[in-house]
Structure 1
Amino acid sequence: MEWDTSIEFDPVILLFEDPDRFFSVRTAVGAANALMYEFPCDDGKEFLAAIEICLDVVKGNAEPEQLRAAIIRAADEAGVTAISVLH
């Protein structure tokens, strides 16, 4: 499985409780890092769905925009502010 950094989508900026802590997600690698290392919880339904979609995108079985939407839903579930940036 290749972690192709060219799998990009419009950025999602995640704002955590600490105002100096934010994370910009725009690739499958960035999504995986945010989910595994930045999220405050790792057991929600949307969190687990985002992990699954992240792997599906890397495998070519899902579209990057599906992952973007999953990150936003997981952030909402975890109480993390997600700012959706569209180009």
Structure 2
Amino acid sequence: MPKGNTLKPFQAVTLVLEGADGYCRVSSVHGVAELLLEHWPIDDGEDYVAAVHICLEAMLGASPPEAAREALIKAAKEAGIAMLQ
């Protein structure tokens, strides 16, 4: 069982996604993981790969949840995804 708390909330980030998804509000490591792995428009960017790695570390308790939030923001900038903060 992972040591981290994947549902522990952090300051929410709202992303503006294209298509039917529209706005997506993320406020937990679990939410970041789901967004990156199931709904992300690119899967080969350096910041995307780093975000997936940091998210895994946060799930295992090796990184704080805020690290996953910051990595998500960097990956969103890389992918050209607008954010509301």
TM-score interval, normalised by the smaller of the two chains = 0.7 to 0.9
Query: How far off its partner does 1:82 sit?
Result: 1.7
Count of paired positions: 84
Structure 2, gaps ≥5 residues long: none
The 4+ residue runs of structure 1 with deviation greater than 3 A are 1-6
Match of 2:73 in 1: 72
Identity among equivalent positions (%) equals 37
Does the C-alpha gap of structure 1 residues 44 and 20 become closer, same or farther in structure 2, counting only changes over 3 Å?
Answer: closer
Secondary structure (helix, strand or coil) at the match of 1:60 reads coil
SS at match of 2:19: coil
Q: Shift of residue 4 of structure 1? A: 3.5
Assess, with a 3 A threshold, how the Cα gap between structure 1 residues 60 and 21 changes in structure 2: closer, same or farther: same
State yes or no: 1:41 paired with 2:42: yes
What are the ranges of 5 or more consecutive residues in structure 1 without an aligned counterpart?
Answer: none
Q: Which amino acid aligns with 1:35?
A: L
TM-score where L is the length of structure 2: 0.87
Computed over aligned residues only, the root mean square deviation of the Cα atoms, in angstroms, reads: 1.8
Once the two structures are TM-superposed, the CA of residue 5 in structure 1 deviates from its matched residue by: 4.2
